[in-house]
């Protein structure tokens, strides 16, 4: 049977993040991708110039259309900009067989532009976090979710991961890519509190647009293929590291370019 994953997220007109990155990632990892749009962004490698929110009723219609027909094996959730959108998505998660859910709590674009209303942060925590099998915040997103300072050490990352578990998360992958060391270290803490560090050498490149979307979609791809969560996370970490390593092969835009989703398919 064909493995199917669904992305519930915003569109990036520049193609480097959002549903475009998600669908590329699904395809690169051997998974059929379907999509439910929550917002349209006017966006390129330089930033976000406009956001158009999709009406909640149309999000509900998309979820019904997709989940009532396709046998979905995993779901990734990305940009949800408003409380009403979050509530509509939560209704669908409860109503349909979505498979394991990966929540990437997207709050700010790589350019620094806000993608989540301040009033919606509490709704992410109270409504969506408990419904996800794993959440994948970066250091800044975790700090905003917990209303605290950005973690500046591995001990602080561990403490914040445990706080997220206490606040309802089933498991946490806290991404250390925004750190300043020579090593990019992510921390996976499962529902029992067992911690696993995933370390890679930091790659010197400006082409990192869409890394969070790509990593969470790669995890969803692994889950759709039947992998256990830790294996899916490890394989996704390997995939995003390779995609970042190959990012400079691409010449896209004049700002923060995308990672290379098809690094092992396209001719060099």
Q: List the catalytic residue out of 76, 175, 214, 222.
A: 175
Q: List the catalytic residue out of 211, 222, 237, 257.
A: 211
Contact 128, 245 (CB under 8 A): no
Q: List the catalytic residue out of 10, 15, 92, 210.
A: 210
Q: List the catalytic residue out of 179, 212, 222, 257.
A: 212
Give yes or no: 175 in active site. yes
The CA distance from 264 to 268, in Å, is 9
* 3-class DSSP state of 78: coil
The CA distance from 167 to 161, in Å, is 10
Close Cβ partners of 155 (under 8 Å, ≥ 6 residues apart): none
Angle (CA) 56-62-66 rounded to 5° is: 150
Q: In angstroms, how far is the first alpha carbon of the chain from the final one?
A: 32
Q: 81 is written with which tokens?
A: 């900009």
* 3-class DSSP state of 20: helix
Give yes or no: 211 in active site. yes
Q: List the catalytic residue out of 208, 214, 222, 257.
A: 208
Give yes or no: 24 in active site. no
Residues present in the chain in total: 268
The CA distance from 220 to 225, in Å, is 9
Give yes or no: 212 in active site. yes
Q: List the catalytic residue out of 41, 45, 75, 213.
A: 213
Question: What is the set of active-site residues?
Answer: 175, 208, 210-213
């Amino acid at each position: 049977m064909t493995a199917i994953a669904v992305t519930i997220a915003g569109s990036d007109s520049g193609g480097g993040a959002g549903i475009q990155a998600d669908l590329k990632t699904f395809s690169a990892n051997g998974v059929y991708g379907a999509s439910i749009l929550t917002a349209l962004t006017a966006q390129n490698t330089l930033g976000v110039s406009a956001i158009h929110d999709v009406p909640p009723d149309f999000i509900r219609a998309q979820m019904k259309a997709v989940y009532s027909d396709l046998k979905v094996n995993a779901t990734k959730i990305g940009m949800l900009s408003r409380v009403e959108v979050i509530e509509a998505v939560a209704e669908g998660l409860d109503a349909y067989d979505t498979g394991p859910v990966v929540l990437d709590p997207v709050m700010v674009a790589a350019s620094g532009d806000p993608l989540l209303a301040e009033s919606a942060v509490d709704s992410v925590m109270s409504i969506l976090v408990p419904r996800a099998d794993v959440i994948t915040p970066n250091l800044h997103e975790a700090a905003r979710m917990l209303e605290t300072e950005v973690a500046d050490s591995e001990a602080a990352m561990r403490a914040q991961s445990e706080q997220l578990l206490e606040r309802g998360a089933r498991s946490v992958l806290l991404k250390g890519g925004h750190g300043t060391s020579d090593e990019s270290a992510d921390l996976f803490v499962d529902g029992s509190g067992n911690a696993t560090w995933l370390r890679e050498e930091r790659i010197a490149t400006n082409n990192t647009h869409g890394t969070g979307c790509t990593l969470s979609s790669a995890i969803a791809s692994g889950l759709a293929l039947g992998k256990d969560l830790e294996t899916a996370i490890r394989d996704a970490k390997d995939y995003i590291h390779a995609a970042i390593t190959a990012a400079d092969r691409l010449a896209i835009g004049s700002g923060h370019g995308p990672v290379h989703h098809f690094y092992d398919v396209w001719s060099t």
